[in-house]
Structure 1
Amino acid sequence: MLKMFRLVMVLFAASYTALAGAADMGAMVMHPWVREAPPTAAALGAFMVLQNHGAKPLVLVGAESAAAGEVQLHRTVMADGMAKMIRQNSIEIPAGGQVEFKPGDYHLMLMKPKQVLKAGDKVGITLKFKDGSSLPATFEVRAGMAMPMNHGNMHSGH
């Protein structure tokens, strides 16, 4: 029994350290939102500003959410006069800089939503970085193309 308790405590400490890592390095999610989509949508777009207040670049390599079967990193690019979504393996956030995830550019794709999300719903998404750290954030579902600028929606990995 004591061995099991120690194992649980070690695993808890390790997961807490990984979650705290990105926030400790100065990563911050601002203005997180998910675009509301029809109930039959196979994917939803998620947007934010990802800031890096640290002295080293951060490399985003993935994300996960209990609200979706998979979360992918994407970028919309123009090719031959047509917009194409291209899956990204990673996105670098420069030291002291930020990357804006917005419609028509970088964004997260919540593939195979597990439930219908409506305006006002909250979605937890955890960002995963190359160094093994994670940053959880809460995204609000918004109708249409609304880009919130409410600074009360700022999130960091505290």
Structure 2
Amino acid sequence: MRFMLTVLLCGFSALAFAEVKVDNAMVRLLPPGVPNTAGYFSLTNTGSEDRVLVGASCAAVKKAELHDHQMVDGMMKMVHQQQVVVPAGQTLTFQPGGLHLMLFGLQAPLKEGQQIPFTLMFANGEQVEVSAVVKSAVAEVDHSHHH
């Protein structure tokens, strides 16, 4: 499923903006009372130059940060990333267990199917507006029955 994205033209040509594409944007729905959640999406750089993602903002939360899961001293830890390079002609997938957008301090409880807007910010000044759908943390088939 693709989500419409709006690009803010901050003194750059529209052609440059067409080179960054966001697909499958979602925000994880967690139980009521959990103050933080995560955003996931695919970020494709169709251009000929690397793009550097340096941050994000989201009005639905107090703070949004780029994070990655990394092995540190034999333990898997969530590590804040100051920037993430999106190589020319490649797609980076922000997903559970890997790169993700950490959303701290929800302003209000989320609801399944709700649209959450956020802005991705790049080192060159580009900003990409994204609308992510809220989806349940676990969408799995019940395999508990026995044959």
Corresponding residue SS for 1:18:
coil
Please report the TM-score for the alignment, with normalisation by the length of structure 2. Answer: 0.83
User: Corresponding residue for 2:45?
Assistant: 52
Counterpart CA distance in 2 for 1:18 and 1:121 is 28
User: Corresponding residue for 1:9?
Assistant: none
The residue type paired with residue 130 of structure 1 is: A
Please report the TM-score for the alignment, with normalisation by the length of structure 1. Answer: 0.77
Verify: 1:18 aligned to 2:25, yes or no: no
Counterpart CA distance in 2 for 1:109 and 1:20 is 28
Kindly report the root-mean-square deviation, in angstroms, between the aligned alpha carbons of the 2 structures.
2.2
Counterpart CA distance in 2 for 1:33 and 1:145 is 13
Corresponding residue SS for 1:103:
coil
User: Corresponding residue for 2:4?
Assistant: none
The residue type paired with residue 50 of structure 2 is: P
Gaps of 5+ in 1: 1-14, 148-158
1:65-93 deviation line (CA, Å, top 9, x unaligned): 11011100000112344321000000000
1:110-140 deviation line (CA, Å, top 9, x unaligned): 1101110121111001000000110001000
Gaps of 5+ in 2: 1-6, 141-147
Corresponding residue SS for 2:44:
strand
Verify: 1:120 aligned to 2:113, yes or no: yes
Paired residues for 1:27-42 under 5 Å: 27-42=20-35
* Percent of matched pairs sharing the same residue: 34
Q: CA deviation at 1:20?
A: 6.7
The residue type paired with residue 32 of structure 2 is: P
> Which of 96, 100, 109 does residue 93 from structure 2 map onto?
100
Q: CA deviation at 1:103?
A: 0.3
1:88-111 deviation line (CA, Å, top 9, x unaligned): 000000001111000000000111
User: Corresponding residue for 1:3?
Assistant: none
Counterpart CA distance in 2 for 1:32 and 1:94 is 20
Counterpart CA distance in 1 for 2:56 and 2:68 is 15
The worse-fitting range, judged by mean Cα deviation, of 126-135 and 71-80 is 71-80
User: Corresponding residue for 1:150?
Assistant: none
- Return structure 1 stretches of 4+ with deviation > 3 angstroms: 19-23
Counterpart CA distance in 2 for 1:121 and 1:102 is 19
User: Corresponding residue for 1:4?
Assistant: none
